[in-house]
């Protein structure tokens, strides 16, 4: 099936509202009138289009999405993008379709806008490891999050079958040379593990040397679950402990019962980070009719998140009705290094799926999450 055909058909996972995006799912823009907005104290400013201009075209990248940030072992800021093309539109006919790719930015003055000053691969951003798209087994490999542990970066990716959205498995790849080369750790989760809730994830390292992991399905049909793993065992899937609910004792604890959803609203792309001694989670809230990029602030990953500080940050809106805090067919929402809780800078993606004329990542500044 052609990618464009699949996009027009849509995934139909959430009331028919979702259509497939380049590195994720791009929601159809719809009428947001009457939507309840829990956004008191939040101000949003769009800083810049990060892609689709000379900022990325100089590295052979025009149309792309995502842009997941990580600080490398040597202290550089690296951004991992999904399906990327030399042309502006996401089409498999593009001669240089790549995913994932990585771009570097040395920008420290975030309000001035990120400037990319290097690429993995040199003058032209190359795919992080070699494989052929639409190879008869799978169509593409999409990133969900990346983390640095000591001298190594670990990147979790989703391997999509011939139909984008049919996640065959997720994998972890590693790099010890600032992303120039990548090795398959052989870590695997089958696409149906925990009802598909290990397909895409986000993770962060705590002071107790444990990596805490929120994960969900790619198709945005469910909430997310929680695992933890010691930082030295991140590539050992058997070492992951789940946060479970025991129906008999009516208690939550590690490795009891079965993994329970710690957040039940339909979830898309996620970004979990430590900021100022707190945990901050930004994610795409796929609740039908209330689609938005949201923020949570909490003390511990296994807190009762229904009691966490929660605000909508950037809302979906119809095309032609956009402003700084309302973006048509938005997704993503990744925290840029240098952010604070009350001064977040996010990488936000957008795809106009009816004609593919817009397929990009942008930078938004969000102030007031903790207020």
CATH number (domain holding residue 271): 2.115.10.20
Q: What is the 3-state secondary structure (H, E, C) of 61-122?
A: CCCCCEEEEEECCCCCEEEEECCECCCCCCCCCCCCCECCEEEEECCCCHHHCCCEEEECCC
Q: Domain span at residue 220?
A: 3-367
Structure tokens at 306: 């229904």
User: Per-residue pLDDT tens for 235-248?
Assistant: 999 999 999 998 88
The pLDDT tens digits of the residues spanning 120-156 come to 999 999 999 999 999 999 999 999 999 999 999 999 9
Number of folded domains in the chain? 1
The pTM for the full model equals 0.92
Q: pLDDT class for 25, splitting at 50, 70, 90?
A: low
Q: Name the nearest CA neighbour of 232 among 152, 170, 146.
A: 152
Task: Measure the CA–CA gap between 94 and 101, rounded to whole angstroms.
Answer: 15
Q: Is the pLDDT of residue 312 over 50?
A: yes
Query: In this predicted structure, what is the pLDDT of residue 345?
Result: 99
Mean pLDDT, range 187-207, rounded to an integer: 98
pLDDT for res 95: 75
Chain segment 28-85, per-residue pLDDT in tens: 544 433 344 457 789 999 999 999 999 999 999 999 999 999 999 999 999 999 999 9
Is the Cβ–Cβ distance between 5 and 332 less than 8 Å?
A: no
């Amino acid at each position: 099936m052609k990618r464009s055909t699949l996009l027009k058909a849509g995934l139909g996972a959430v009331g028919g509202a979702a259509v497939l995006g380049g590195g994720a799912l791009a929601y159809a823009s719809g009428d947001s009138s009457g939507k309840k907005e829990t956004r008191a104290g939040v101000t949003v400013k769009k800083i810049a289009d990060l892609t689709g201009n000379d900022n990325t075209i100089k590295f052979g990248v025009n149309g792309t999405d995502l842009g997941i940030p990580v600080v490398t072992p040597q202290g550089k800021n690296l951004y991992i993008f999904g399906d990327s093309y030399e042309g502006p539109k996401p089409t498999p006919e593009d001669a240089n379709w790549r995913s994932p790719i990585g771009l570097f930015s040395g920008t420290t003055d975030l309000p001035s806008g990120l400037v990319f000053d290097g690429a993995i691969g040199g003058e032209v951003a190359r795919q992080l490891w070699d494989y052929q798209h639409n190879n008869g087994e799978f169509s593409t490999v999409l990133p969900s999050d990346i983390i640095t542990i000591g001298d190594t970066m670990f990147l979790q990716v989703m391997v999509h079958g011939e139909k984008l959205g049919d996640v065959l498995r997720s994998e972890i790849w590693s790099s010890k040379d600032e992303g120039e080369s990548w090795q398959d750790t052989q870590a695997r989760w089958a696409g149906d593990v925990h009802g598909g809730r290990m397909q895409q994830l986000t993770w962060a390292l705590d002071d107790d040397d444990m990596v805490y992991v929120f994960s969900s399905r790619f198709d945005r049909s469910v909430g997310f679950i929680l695992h933890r793993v010691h930082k030295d065992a991140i590539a050992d899937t058997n070492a992951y402990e789940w946060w479970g609910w025991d129906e008999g004792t009516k208690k939550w604890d590690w490795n009891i019962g079965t993994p329970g959803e710690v957040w039940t609203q339909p979830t898309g792309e996620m970004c979990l980070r430590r900021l100022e001694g707190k945990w901050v989670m930004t994610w795409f809230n796929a609740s039908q009719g209330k689609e938005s990029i949201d923020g949570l602030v909490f003390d511990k990953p296994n807190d009762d998140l229904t009691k966490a500080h929660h605000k909508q940050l950037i809302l979906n809106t119809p095309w032609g009705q956009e402003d700084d805090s309302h973006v048509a067919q938005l997704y993503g929402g990744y925290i840029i290094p240098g952010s604070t809780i009350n001064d977040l800078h996010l990488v936000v993606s957008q795809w106009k799926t009816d004609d593919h004329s817009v397929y990009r990542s942008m930078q938004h500044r969000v102030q007031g999450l903790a207020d």
